[in-house]
Structure 1
Amino acid sequence: MNPLLDVRDLVVRYGSVTVVDGVSFQVGAGETVGLVGPSGCGKSSTAAAVLQLRRPHSGSVLFDGLELTGMGGRELRAVRPRLQPVFQDPYGSLSPRRRIREQIAEPLRVQGRWSRTAGPGRVAELLDSVGLDGSHGERLPHELSGGQCQRAGIARALASDPDLLVLDEPVSALDPSLRAGVLNLLLDLQDRLGLGCLFISHDMAAVRHMSDRVLTMRNGKLVA
């Protein structure tokens, strides 16, 4: 069976500096692959290249057999709903001026899947799937805790019905008391929805808790 994500010889440069140097790995459907390493080792640049938020200098990113690196904007927009990020800063990833329910509904509207009859129910279902209720949907991000805000960000990612989540330090900004709850939520969602996950962190304990396989990165290279 072909992997869901197949990264081959990935190179990312910022000017003359190579920050990702020949990285190759695969993620299968329903599998979580952890990518761990110290700050500045190239983990987030790898995530950005996988998501095509940063175009790599060379190498290949195959998603479900589709080569992303050569795609134009229109082609990428068609694929991106299946490949969703969850970022480190739960507040910074959400608009401070819009209610949570509106932000969860946004992918449905952008992708042409919103309906007046079914849309509100789908938003309520997504809130429930991450342990939030309708009252949370009526709030602005600053009215939620960090853990609740990250759950809302996960719900927004799930609105696109993705096959793969790219989780870039998703719990590092949370208090220790909240981290376990979000990690267990992610494990439960993966089990229920069959999601593939690329889980990026500098926290080895979190990576081991989440991952089927663990890759270690240093100075832009995979070392284990």
Structure 2
Amino acid sequence: MARNRRKQPRRDALLAAAVEVVGERGVAGTTHRAVTERAEVPLATASYYFSSIDELIAEALTAFVKQRAEEIGLPHRDDVSPSTVAEWYAEQVMGLEKSKRLAFYEVLLNAARTPELAEAARNAMASYQDWAVAGLDAAGTPRGVGAARAFVALGLGFGLLHLVEERESDTEELFTALRDLFIGSVLEPDEHAAWTERLTQGRD
């Protein structure tokens, strides 16, 4: 069945079109008509391949996020460094075209409500964490996955800011922020304690 699906250009066109429409209109605004018009196929085509618009959207976004997870994966290199990782991730986050970035955030927002999207969202987050762990390992810090979540959150946050107010400097600013986060992760315990005390002075 999987082989047959790969040979169905109209079905593939619907999946690709659904991602584009979700990126433009959101999940709630995506309809059979909008998707079929974008795919340039008859309206009945969607019902032929999918039992509902929800099934079409879920399958399209799941495939999209899976592909995105593969794209974000850090290339296997012998000279991986925290700086290399920060540069790679900043380019991957900011280099994604607007409609696809919007579609990706739609997956994350709807994962809590749609079981079909939950696993895809978790897998995508896992791939984002993998690159951060690679950078932390290269920096020599043992903090691993626990610290990696902060890097993922930073990247996602910058991606949202870029949607609201797009700046040419966003890629460089994200790189700098990620690099500084790596620097903070490798501070010696006494240095970390000193900076923690310095930055919390005056809070009481």
The TM-score normalised by the length of structure 1 is 0.24
Higher strand share: 1
Using CA pairs under 8 Å that are at least 6 residues apart, name the structure with larger relative contact order, 1 or 2.
Answer: 1
The TM-score normalised by the length of structure 2 is 0.25
| Structure exhibiting the larger radius of gyration computed from Cα positions | 2
